[in-house]
Amino acid sequence: MDSESATHPWFALQVRARHERSVAEFLTGKGYEWFLPTYQCRRRWSDRIKQVTLPLFPGYLFCRFNSLDRLPILTTPKVIQIVGMARSPVPIAEAEIAALQAAVKSGLPAQPWPFLRVGQRVRLDYGSLYGLEGILVGFKGNYRLILSVTLLQRSVALEVDAAWVTPVSDWQRPRHVSPLAQPAEAPVAA
């Protein structure tokens, strides 16, 4: 990776199913920086159970490039499109990619998770993912931190200890207030 490509934003590439690794190899040959977050899972065959590595975002791969020079990306075999809106690529937030890279590097068990819009935001205050923010959910008696890529509307779940998290206070995040909601009346001193 050269220093010029590090200044370009990350984009999500939609690729043919089960071809994420081959697209990554093509992008390496073209000199692009890419990121393919993966996880380990057990799959059952008729005669055995095998540990396999699968993409956290099946059918997607992240790549850094200049959006004004996207033809080499679009002509890469098995690339379907650059994810965006109205035929314009939309960059992925640098913080979202950094959070995913930290999650993969941590070695904590991870798995794909449905995208969530509601739930309590938390910040990790301990461990290798210190400072990351996400949504805390309960699952089978354990806790998981959900990291999301908003543009793809996909998420990843990481198992975390409940003692590692603290709620993100309301003043740090904008609140969505219903226009029908009435403010509470202040108590009147007698």
Question: Per-residue pLDDT averaged across 88-103, rounded?
Answer: 96
Domain tally, the chain = 2
Tokens 């089978």 sit at which residue? 140
The pLDDT, as a whole number, for residue 119 is 62
- pLDDT greater than 60 at residue 183: no
Percent of residues, the chain, with pLDDT higher than 90: 52
Q: Contact, 188 vs 96, CB < 8 A?
A: no
- Name the domain boundary from 92, 111, 139: 92
Weakest-pLDDT range from 11-15, 47-51, 60-64, 135-139: 135-139
Residue 83 covered by a domain: yes
The pLDDT, as a whole number, for residue 189 is 42
Do 58 and 104 reside in the same domain of the chain?
Answer: no
Question: Per-residue pLDDT averaged across 69-93, rounded?
Answer: 96
Question: Per-residue pLDDT averaged across 133-159, rounded?
Answer: 86
Do 98 and 88 reside in the same domain of the chain?
Answer: no
Do 67 and 10 reside in the same domain of the chain?
Answer: yes
Residue 183 covered by a domain: no
Question: Per-residue pLDDT averaged across 157-181, rounded?
Answer: 62
Do 3 and 87 reside in the same domain of the chain?
Answer: yes
Percent of residues, the chain, with pLDDT higher than 70: 83
Do 1 and 88 reside in the same domain of the chain?
Answer: yes
Do 72 and 119 reside in the same domain of the chain?
Answer: no
CATH number at residue 31: 3.30.70.940
Do 115 and 64 reside in the same domain of the chain?
Answer: no
How confident is residue 98, by pLDDT bands cut at 50, 70 and 90? Answer: very high
**Pairing mode, if any, of strands 84-85 and 88-89?**
antiparallel
Do 14 and 75 reside in the same domain of the chain?
Answer: yes
Q: Residue 30: give the domain boundaries.
A: 1-92
Do 109 and 34 reside in the same domain of the chain?
Answer: no
**b or e along 31-68 (b: 16 or more beta carbons within 10 Å of the residue's beta carbon)?**
ebbbebbebeeeeeeeeeeeeeeebbbebbbbbbbeee
**Pairing mode, if any, of strands 165-167 and 49-55?**
unpaired
Tokens 């709620």 sit at which residue? 167
Residue 3 covered by a domain: yes
Most confident range, picked from 67-81, 141-155, 160-174: 67-81
Do 84 and 7 reside in the same domain of the chain?
Answer: yes
Residue 24 covered by a domain: yes
Q: Which residues contact 128 (CB under 8 A, 6 or more apart)?
A: 102, 105, 106, 107, 108
How confident is residue 74, by pLDDT bands cut at 50, 70 and 90? Answer: very high
The pLDDT, as a whole number, for residue 116 is 46
CATH number at residue 119: 2.30.30
Residue 161 covered by a domain: yes
Q: Contact, 129 vs 103, CB < 8 A?
A: yes
How confident is residue 50, by pLDDT bands cut at 50, 70 and 90? Answer: very high
Tokens 């984009």 sit at which residue? 11
How confident is residue 176, by pLDDT bands cut at 50, 70 and 90? Answer: very low
pLDDT tens digits, 102-128: 999 999 999 887 664 446 788 888 888
